Structure 1
Amino acid sequence: MSPATIFNIHLVLGYVPWLLCFGAYIWPRLKLMDRGEAQRAIATLHSFRFFGLVFLLPGVVGPNLPAGFAIFAAYGDFATGLLAMLALLAVRRPPIFWPLVVAFNVVGIVDLVVDYYHGTVLDLPDLAGQLGATYAIPIIYVPVLMITHVAAFYLLARPQHKAAPGAGDEETGGLSSLRSPSSAR
């Protein structure tokens, strides 16, 4: 099998275990959580996206990794990670938290879609060896990022359930202030 074929198999099959895990363990919990808590959990995962800057480190990636892929992937991940961290810092201020949640999800999903586009146009599967130590990022990490962005948008779009007064305080560690402004009234 060619390296390009192996990379494409890895890329596609990277979604299978994450979808199975997400469907069995993560999604059922996210759906039951307060809207703010669910977004906070997703933001926590995405706050690690500063790691994407590794695409710019010589010696970690090969010298022939296309700059058109590496630069956008690195800075798109970095921007998403910073926005997710800002959202986490603003968690107790809903008027700031919610726009940051939307921002990190929009920037993050655009980053991933453009990375897939660049990877296709620049024939990344034929250059998969140039990913070096970062090979695992598109195979293992990107699928869960994409899945959680889709989940975040779904959760943002669905109506917020009216919670009983004080409900969820034990489960959220007293963070009931994360409810959307409309549900806090």
Structure 2
Amino acid sequence: MRLAPLLILVCSLAALPARAQRRDSTPSQDDESPASQSWFNLRAGSGSLGAGSGPVICAEVSPWGPLSLETCGTGAGLFRDQQGDDVAHFRAKWRLLQRVKGPGVVKIQTMLGFAELEVGDDDPGFRFTGSGARGVETAGPEAGFAVQYLASLGRGVEGIASLTAGMAYFPYADDLVTPRNRYQPFVGVELGAGF
């Protein structure tokens, strides 16, 4: 079964919040400081997907407690007219652990969502069941982890350093006009600010 590795990863990630909650049930001295209050952040940095790499822009909103929603990409279709390979991530993040360390807060999050891989000009919408009429884009599930360090910059603004890593699976990547590997690991490092 081709989806077996991804299903195992997703099931493992689903079990982590319960384990993290049990481990955190005894208060530690680090927990006495106020937690991060950032509900929106914008970050820029560098990322890679498979063999490609380049600049990355991420926006994250935290509407409730441990849940946040994030999108990351190169901004090729939004900020500049770029041809060629591009990837965009759309994911939900769940905070597994949060600890005060020094002047800031460390967050460990699990991520689950989908990514879109493009090898040409983007068409509207997402192609989960193929590569589109022109064979230039496809989408598939992704999962991973993020580690963030947030420190107060004053007046309710936080500086943020973020490291993400995971795997995306594109079942129709070999149908693209420029075929790609179905399994695409990714890593990203970004800096930014939130409030």
Give the TM-score normalised by the residue count of structure 1: 0.30
Higher strand share: 2
Higher helix share: 1
Give the TM-score normalised by the residue count of structure 2: 0.29
